[in-house]
């Protein structure tokens, strides 16, 4: 335990580990994970568990149903969630707490802060927070989409220093290990590049392992917040023994040396833009250093509908993504002032965005 020097760990467990046969929850693979959590806590390490699997855990209740629509899946999630929580709870002699989230909870700054406060209170009280996406009420618009990325968002919100993502393979390989006998496990990743994504299997690659791309996305979110991220084989007990003994059993993504500040990380990786601001010209200084450069005269177009305080994407007129920012104006007001001559305005408008509420994006 001395090698990694963890303080707070988020561990993500998927459906295949929770209900491998889709006949309800099984302890087959969860016992070793529970033992890992217990031993971490014995060493003074705080743990947050992100556990998907409610739909898989509740599928057997509807095995005879011919319907496969979204309403049935939501019912499966409702039935399976209680079963899953009960399964985790019986492994431990300390209390667990359930937190169900949608993307809307994470992208709203006030609710995001509330989630953080709740997690900190639970950890301070010695409870184990168990987090899942709220599949019973979520819609396509509100979904995070996968629990790998949810785990990365939770790790950032929890100020964790380590994220452990359980997979069905040992980690990231240079080729699909199910198709290539000479595939090599990559133990260390210092920078997530397009080549790393290609190994995971992207639009231009057919060599990746299914589900690995979202794990790389999650690793990118987490490492940019200064969080070390492991991808390990959750089906192997030895993975957790190795971690406890300070050995890397899978792939370790090293954190940024200069992580993003908490609010800027939230803007970049969690908050969802509600609209776009198309602007012209190049700026003498980065926008986050001098936001006053962005004036109504430079607005080419306002896209979408958003309110004061919503997150917007600032894009140049050539299509380059410049920044995500919190808007100080509604889309209606920005459209109005951009159409007026400066001398026609009765009041000189304030800054469109503020220096502290801008996250600069890499050119894409």
With CA atoms as reference, report the closest residue to 229 among 129, 130, 123, 148. 148
Sign of CA dihedral 68, 99, 103, 194: negative
Q: Transcribe 309-331 into DSSP letters.
A: T-EEEEEETTS-EEEEEE-SS-H
- Give the global pTM: 0.85
In this model, does residue 142 exceed pLDDT 70?
no
CATH number, domain 8-265: 3.40.1160.10
Kindly state the DSSP code that residue 206 receives in the 8-state scheme.
Answer: S
Percent of the chain with pLDDT over 90: 55
**Contacts for 91 with CB less than 8 Å, ≥ 6 apart:** 27, 30, 31, 34, 38
Q: What is the CA radius of gyration of the chain?
A: 23
Residue 364, pLDDT above cutoff 70: no
182 contacts 30 by C-beta, under 8 angstroms: no
The two beta strands, 251-253 and 188-189, are parallel
Contact assessment for residue 58 and residue 25, using Cβ atoms and an 8 Å cutoff: no
Q: Is the pLDDT of residue 167 over 60?
A: yes
Given this model, what pLDDT does residue 208 score? 36
Query: Which of 328, 153, 174 is CA-nearest to residue 251?
Result: 174
Q: What is the mean pLDDT of residues 100-119?
A: 92
- What pLDDT does 206 receive? 35
CATH superfamily membership of 273-360: PUA domain (2.30.130.10)
pLDDT tens per residue across span 194-249: 999 988 874 333 333 448 999 999 999 999 999 999 999 999 999 999 999 999 99
Question: Which of 270, 249, 283 lies closest to 353, judged by CA?
Answer: 283
Domain boundaries, the chain: 8-265, 273-360
**Structure token digits, residue 82:** 């209680």
- pLDDT (tens digit per residue) in 248-302: 999 999 999 888 888 888 888 888 899 999 988 666 566 766 777 787 778 889 9
| Distance, CA of 331 to CA of 302 (rounded, Å) | 7
Rounded mean pLDDT of 154-173? Answer: 95
- Does 8-265 match 273-360 in CATH topology? no
Beta-strand runs (E) in 126-189: 128-133, 162-167, 188-189
In order of 98, 185, 204, 215, the CA distances from 199 in angstroms are 35, 11, 10, 12
pLDDT given for residue 63 in this prediction: 83
**pLDDT value at residue 186:** 95
Mean pLDDT of the chain, nearest integer: 87
Query: Which pair of tokens denotes residue 309?
Result: 């305080």
**β-strand 162-167 against 275-279: which pairing, if any?**
unpaired
pLDDT, residue 319, reads 86
Which pLDDT belongs to residue 123? 98
Residue from 106, 2, 3 nearest 50 by CA? 106
Instruction: Evaluate if residue 90 carries a pLDDT over 50.
Output: yes
C-alpha span between 137 and 114 (Å, rounded): 20
**For position 160, what pLDDT does the model report?**
97
Does the pLDDT value for residue 163 go beyond 90?
Answer: yes
> What is the number of other CB atoms lying within 10 angstroms of the CB of residue 246?
11
The lowest-confidence range among 112-126, 173-187, 275-289, 306-320 is 275-289
pLDDT band at 48 (very low <50, low <70, confident <90, very high): very high
CA 67 to chain centre: 31
Dump pLDDT digits (tens) for 14-44.
Answer: 999 999 988 889 999 999 999 999 999 999 9
């Amino acid at each position: 335990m001395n090698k990694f020097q963890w303080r707070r760990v988020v561990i993500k467990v998927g459906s295949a580990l929770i209900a491998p046969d889709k006949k309800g929850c099984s302890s087959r693979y969860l016992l070793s994970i529970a033992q890992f959590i217990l031993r971490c806590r014995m060493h003074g390490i705080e743990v947050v568990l992100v556990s998907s699997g409610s739909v898989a855990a509740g599928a057997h209740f509807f095995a005879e149903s011919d319907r496969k629509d979204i309403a049935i899946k939501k019912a499966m999630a409702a039935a399976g969630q209680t079963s899953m929580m009960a399964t985790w709870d019986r492994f431990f002699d300390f209390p667990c707490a359930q937190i169900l989230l949608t993307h809307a909870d994470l992208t709203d700054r006030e609710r995001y802060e509330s989630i953080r406060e709740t997690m900190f209170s639970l950890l301070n009280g010695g409870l184990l927070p168990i987090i899942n996406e709220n599949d019973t009420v979520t819609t396509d618009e509100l979904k995070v989409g996968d629990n790998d990325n949810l785990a990365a968002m939770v790790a950032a919100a929890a100020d964790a220093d380590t994220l452990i993502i359980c997979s069905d393979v040992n980690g990231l390989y240079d080729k699909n290990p199910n198709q290539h006998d000479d595939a090599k496990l990559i133990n260390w990743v210092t920078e997530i590049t397009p080549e790393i994504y290609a190994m995971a299997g992207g639009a231009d690659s057919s060599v990746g392992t299914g589900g690995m791309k979202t794990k790389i996305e999650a690793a990118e979110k987490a490492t940019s917040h200064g969080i070390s991220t492991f991808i390990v084989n959750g089906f192997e007990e030895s993975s957790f023994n190795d971690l406890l003994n300070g050995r890397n059993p899978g792939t370790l993504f090293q954190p940024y040396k200069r992580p993003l500040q908490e609010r800027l990380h939230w803007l970049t990786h969690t908050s969802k833009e509600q609209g776009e601001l198309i602007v012209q010209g190049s700026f003498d200084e980065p926008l986050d250093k001098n936001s006053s450069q962005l004036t109504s005269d430079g607005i080419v177009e306002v896209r979408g509908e958003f309110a004061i305080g919503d997150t917007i994407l600032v894009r140049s007129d050539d299509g380059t993504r410049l920044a995500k920012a919190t808007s100080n104006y509604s889309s209606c007001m920005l459209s109005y002032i951009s159409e007026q001559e400066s001398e026609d305005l009765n009041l000189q408008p304030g800054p469109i965005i503020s220096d502290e509420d801008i996250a600069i994006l890499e050119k894409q």
